[in-house]
Structure 1
């Protein structure tokens, strides 16, 4: 039993005639007859009685009721399949590190969701190392993160630099200084993220290169939460500048004058995967054009 035969059957019922159905469907009369014979053979029963006109059998009446639903479901399936093939429906899985996930991605996705309302978007927020593994294992389609140790088949496109600044409680002496160096924070109680965080590793490397040993007061795993602990007076926080613009009440922001290298953030993709489809192509273009607006260091 195929959809074409059911459509032929429904057309015959609608017009009450094999001839009129053939004209409507632009089929030869023999084709219409063949469709119905095949349908009756597949179902193992007659669908029409031809004595004194054309009438439906009980089986024909049942097929007439169910056939309309079958055709509608098939049309819906065809439409959904076409949208999926053309990249206008389905799911796109994005990975993002903080603070990009909270401070940059939300507003960028608004026009995308409006343009592709049938696309489901999944956002996974992880550190760069985890995101790299997820891209490689096809758990996500792409990631916005720092550059990983690239393996075969992985491609990283730099987009922007994430600047680092100090968030300091107003009552701290350091907050009164207009110019702050890495040496100035050597003995300060620093609030920092976990050891896998690229922002922490970058700060540590620059301090160690200058012979400075960091003094960590508290380790907080969630990057956007750092500012609230600094605001509460637990210490100074080394944070991406975007997360403290403007600074929370009771704090001041100071840049580190000899902090020379901001982190480069970009788009990580798996070269072994195909990134076709209108939605995916549009998303990649949207992210690239809107994120690649800040000077790379």
Structure 2
């Protein structure tokens, strides 16, 4: 069944005349007559009782009622297809790790949603290990995270380095020290994130290189929850500065003078994927602008 024929039928019903419908649609009257005959033949019913005045049969009344839905549905589909081709609709799947997901990403997405309101965004928040697998399996289009341990099948573009510092309860003796170095963490009860967390792995590597065996008193899988456990005096933690800003009452933040550097965060993609479309181009532009922009440190003067 041709949707153009449905439109012809609806036009005939509107004007009550084959001739008027032909004039409106700019068809020859014979074309309109042929379309209706073919439609009736395809459906196996009579739609219009011909005579001095056209009359809808019961089948015609049903088609007249449902025809609007068919035409509207087709128009919506056509519009959606045009938006998709023009890169103005569809879905973009983004993987993000903490603390970027909570503290940096929402502000970056605000102008994107204003410019591309029809684009559906799917945001998956996971560890870099899981995000790496999702990128390889094409379960997300891009991921914002640290570099994967095994980069096979992915491309990583670094954007910024996450600043790291020591968070202590205000009652802890280290909170009163003027300077903190890695050696000060020896034999201290450290609060840690999960063993596969890249921030924990980076800390462990630097402690071991400094001859310190990490002493973990409590493991908390959610990095954003660590500051609350420090506040409750469960121990001290080395965490990204952005994740503890603003400081909770009863906690103190200290730079670690010999901590080599924080972790580099960037965009991870599937090496076999190409990324096209205005929406994705604009998103990548926002990510470069927003994530490369320096964030004022708590230790800045």
Name the residue aligned to 1:166: 166
Contact 1:157 1:267 in 2 (8 A): yes
Report the count of equivalent residues. Answer: 294
Paired with 1:139 and 1:110, the residues of 2 have a C-alpha distance of: 23
User: How far did residue 65 of structure 1 move?
Assistant: 1.5
Q: How does 1:1-297 map to 2 (within 5 A)?
A: 1-148=1-148, 149-152=150-153, 154-294=154-294
C-alpha separation in 1, matches of 2:79 and 2:114: 20
SS of the residue corresponding to residue 161 of structure 2 reads strand
Is the Cα–Cα contact under 8 Å of residues 164 and 261 in structure 2 kept in the other structure? no
Helix, strand or coil at the partner of 1:264 = strand
Residues in 2 aligned to 1:263 and 1:202: alpha-carbon distance in whole angstroms: 7
Normalised to the residue count of structure 2, the TM-score between the two structures is: 0.92
Q: Which runs of 5+ in 2 are unaligned?
A: 296-301
Contact 1:167 1:247 in 2 (8 A): no
CA distance in 2, matches of 1:7, 1:79: 17
Gaps of 5+ in 1: none
TM-superposed deviation, 1:82:
2.6
- Tell me, yes or no, if the aligned pair for 1:161 and 1:294 is still in contact at 8 Å: no
The root-mean-square deviation of aligned C-alpha atoms, in Å, is: 1.7
Alpha-carbon distance in 2 for matches of 1:62, 1:98? 56
Per-residue CA deviations over 1:66-106 (Å, capped at 9, x if unaligned) read 11221112212222233333333333221111111111112
TM-score, length basis structure 1: 0.93
